[in-house]
A and B are shown apart, each in its own frame.
Chain A
Amino acid sequence: MTSAHTHLTQIEDRGLLRFLTCGSVDDGKSTLIGRLLFDSKTILADTLTAIERTSTKRGLTAVDLSLLTDGLQAEREQGITIDVAYRYFSTGTRKYIIADAPGHEQYTRNMVTAASTANVAIILIDARKGVLTQTRRHSYLAKLVGIPHVIVAVNKMDLVDYSQATYDGIVAEYSAFAEQIGLTDVRFIPLSALVGDMIVDRGERLDWYTGPTLIDILEAAPAAHTEKAESFRFPVQYVCRPQASDDPELHDYRGFMGRVESGEIKVGDSVTVLPNGRTTRVKDVQLYGQSIGKAIHEQSVTLLLEDEIDISRGDMIVNSEEVPVQTKQIEAMMCWLSETPLSPARTYWLRHTTREVKAKVASIAHRVDINSLAKDAATTLAMNDIAQLTLKLAQPIFADNYTESRPTGAFILIDESTNNTVGAGMIVG
């Protein structure tokens, strides 16, 4: 085995971190992502040659790293970004997935989409412009979708002479706003994506900043969504009954397949099955037909139970001590995603974990103006609107508050006729 290989397999694996970048092209978002990919050596020679060629064609003297995130033909034609793009890089110790969300106001739904799977948000601020309406909007959405860690990247420091006073002013203004909306874990960093200062390398012009570089902050960020101990939640995706097998031992095999959405589980644990409410113990935790004894948060496994209980897809196996609420009415924050407005007269499919039930809007408490955070009355919702509302359900779901448990507090609404995903909801009660 060569030393390079030893290095690859022996380094510490710090898991996978999903983060979101918010800001517009003007804030240097594409350049920042390009810089992360370039400085982490993810960009390979042929891609670099291609963007060098395009940069030259456009009369630029230096390579425009923002071209690395140049999107679809349809987007290039219109000069806008219409969708969330996912990018990948690795530092050797940790793998990163970037959700690159467009910054325009009309794309609130894209930011909510990108934020739904992210554990860290990088909010870009142009040092020359300071905290803008857009910054507040992005921050509110990050809070709404429950991103636990926010990094405020004050970019374009090269254009304000690397002024500490400018940076300090932005930090003070943003901190006051963050407190107002309840963002608790906020880190600040001055940087220049264009020049490359404080991204991977410190550069030489920000001596007054003694904190970690952007990549150091990302390397140290917790990979888990929350550090709190969570209740065990296991929505059943699929039931395995391999009766036809020639192996008699498998004749009575009933495996409940799913992913541990929160908490953990081990052989012998007492569990309750919803909706029927029966309690039993875990006989085995398996993966690939092998007993693995226990499973942690986000692990896909198969559970075998001691008692024979009728369980199918859409049911949920939970910790007997911490059973979620069974309810046919939920209070939720909703982001409307569809060009067709929400109709309180219509019935929608509501998908919550692996469970699908019919749902109808009972009332809309208020709509939130995400620029001013003012609440106003509404009888319908248009695309990109955010509102608090009450939904009535045809069958119960097993609900947690979104702030307590993201995977069992989230749901989507599906239009019955088009099958489109039209709403994203977060349960508040």
Chain B
Amino acid sequence: MSTLTKQTLSHLDWLESEAIHIMREVAGQCSNPVLLFSGGKDSLCLLRLAEKAFRPGRFPFPLMHIDTGHNYKEVTDFRDKRAAELGERLIVRSVEDSMARGTVVLKNEGESRNKHQSVTLLEAIEEFGFNACIGGARRDEEKARAKERIMSFRDEFGQWDPKNQRPELWNLYNARSHKGENIRAFPISNWTEMDVWQYIEREKLELPSIYFSHIRPIVMRGGAMVPVTDITPARAGEEIVQMQVRFRTVGDITCTAPVLSDADTVEKIVIETATTTITERGATRLDDQTSDASMEQRKKEGYF
């Protein structure tokens, strides 16, 4: 092999460039796309990428959040603020509305609403006629995602069939769909948690405060740190401890646990991410622990 002579992009520039290309393909190929935006770190990266892809124009899609009604207020406030700063349209659809319509029925009051987001998402897709949803999922998050396409085809029930995915070659993405079907597009498929934090640092992206170290009441339950909130109160006999923590992933309160951390700046989080010994979901997602295949199962049912 010859020595490296030709100028090439740095790894972050390459990832950014790939993501911009994917977003523009969605905009070029799909008549009615939407970008799923939760206020979490991955979707905040998507917004910066969309700015780089489409400014000085407006985004060729609205933003949408499927709200379980069990999200941290710091995050939903941040979501609204960021959408307003960008001047882009934000649609919020709520799992609670699906519950009121009777399309989401919880097994019991305490059941997590997280997996039921799929129902509300499909209802919103139908309501607006979206034929592509841009999301911030990454292949490094979970093994059911390692084989996910960048443009992933879902049938009219929103189902992901791992045996029936379109081959994806070169950078020739096939985002065609028939009415009722849709494409899930993942521009940051090839990013790792570390890439996301390095990008946040480089782009100086603002984040919701709960990503940074803070003191929070916690109980230990089944080996996991469970934050004590109105929705997730301490159970009888559990000891509440004030702990210095931060969130590595942010989602429904009932299934997101924080990690012990004193990292209060993005720089410190980058260092912590480089030296951590626990995977992102392993430490913090209570819903992935159910079985070896729980993410795969949820994805088949229409989950992001």
Contacts and interface: CB of A to CB of B under 8 A. Distances in A.
Given A73-B292, A242-B56, A421 B170 contact: no
Contact of A5 (B25, B143, B270): B270
Most buried by B among A84, A237, A287: A237
Interface string B189-210: 1101011000000000000000
Contacts of B28: 237-238, 313, 354
Interface stretch (B7-15, B92-100, B119-127): B7-15
A237 B52 contact: no
Contacts of A337: 167
A8 B55 contact: no
Interface in B1-56: 1-18, 20-21, 24-25, 27-28, 51-56
A420 B166 contact: yes
Given A5-B271, A351-B172, A220 B4 contact: yes
A90 B192 contact: yes
Contact of B276 (A44, A84, A238, A414): A44
Contacts of A313: 28
A299 B162 contact: no
Contacts of A237: 21, 24-25, 27-28
Contacts of B274: 4, 8
Contact of B27 (A88, A238, A424): A238
Contact of B8 (A220, A223, A257, A351): A223
A414 B1 contact: no
A391 to B, nearest CB: 15
Contact of A242 (B5, B58, B147, B297): B58
A240 B167 contact: no
Q: Interface residue tally of chain A, by bracket?
A: 35 or more
Given A2-B271, A221-B1, A289-B55, A94 B172 contact: no
B172 A298 contact: no
B53 A257 contact: yes
Residue of A110, A224, A257 with highest tally of chain B CB at under 10 A: A257
Nearest to A295: B17
A297 interface: yes
Contacts of A8: 270-271, 274
A46 B55 contact: no
A94 B11 contact: yes
B24 A300 contact: yes
A420 B11 CA distance: 32
A15 interface: yes
A135 B66 CA distance: 49
Contacts of A250: 56
B177 A419 contact: yes
Contact of A1 (B153, B172, B267): B267
Most chain-A CB neighbours within 10 Å: which of B3, B28, B169, B195?
Answer: B169
A240 B54 contact: yes
B49 to A, nearest CB: 10
Interface stretch (A160-168, A191-199, A393-401, A405-413): A405-413
Given A222-B1, A250-B56, 9 more contacts: A44-B278, A72-B144, A82-B163, A84-B147, A247-B56, A288-B52, A299-B13, A300-B21, A412-B170
7 contacts: A4-B271, A46-B282, A220-B1, A224-B4, A224-B8, A259-B21, A349-B176
